[in-house]
């Protein structure tokens, strides 16, 4: 699906947030600056988070309070580290976990999750988004959005 503007990306994430339930894990893949954090901002709005979302690059994980707690991870710095910093403590804490650069912690990801890929499209502000659901719940989520 094509996202034509930053607002499109945030609006899509906002709609997705409405379909989520406790312990849902979303991964975000895509090149530097493609819009992973921007997507997370829309998601946070949809979860009723009031605080501004900032990039967690230097903290690995940031927590926000909303309708459900939001755990926003950016594991870019864990590339090749194989270190388990207690991911399951977040995945099963009854919140929503969003992970930028999730492939860097592939071995620790839960089987049931929604993989989201963003790609640069032809125009500067356009992005292509792909959703890959793992498990029945996320298949339903994707259906509800289309």
Q: Is 29 in the site for ligand ATP (CB under 6 A)?
A: no
72 makes contact, choosing from Mg ion, ligand ATP, none, with CB < 5 to 8 Å by partner type, with: none
Draw the binding track, 29-58, toward Mg ion (x: CB under 5 A; -: no contact).
Answer: -------xx-----------------x---
Distance in Å, CB of 123 to ligand ATP, minimum? 9
Choice from 110, 125, 135, 137 touching ligand ATP (CB under 6 A): 125
Closer by beta carbon to ligand ATP, 42 or else 95:
42
Provide the edge-to-edge strand list for the sheet that holds 61-64: 2-3, 127-134, 113-120, 24-29, 96-100, 70-74, 61-64
Size of the site for ligand ATP (CB under 6 A): 17
Among 34, 30, 25, 31, smallest CA distance to 61 is for 25
Name the residues that contact ligand ATP, by CB under 6 A: 3, 5-6, 8-9, 30, 32-38, 55, 100, 125, 127
Name the residues that contact Mg ion, by CB under 5 A: 36-37, 55
């Amino acid at each position: 699906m094509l996202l034509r503007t930053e607002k499109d990306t945030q609006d899509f994430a906002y709609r997705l947030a409405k379909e989520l339930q406790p312990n849902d894990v979303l991964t975000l893949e895509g090149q530097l600056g493609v819009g992973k954090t921007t997507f997370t901002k829309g998601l946070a709005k949809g979860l009723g988070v009031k605080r501004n979302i900032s990039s967690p690059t230097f903290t690995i994980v940031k927590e926000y309070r909303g309708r459900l707690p939001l755990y926003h991870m950016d594991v870019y710095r864990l590339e090749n580290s194989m270190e388990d910093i207690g991911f399951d403590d977040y995945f099963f804490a009854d919140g929503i976990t969003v992970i930028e650069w999730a492939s860097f912690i592939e071995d620790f990801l839960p089987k049931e999750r929604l993989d989201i890929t963003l790609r640069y499209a032809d125009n500067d502000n356009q992005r292509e988004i792909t959703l890959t659901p793992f498990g029945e719940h996320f298949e339903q989520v994707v259906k509800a959005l289309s």
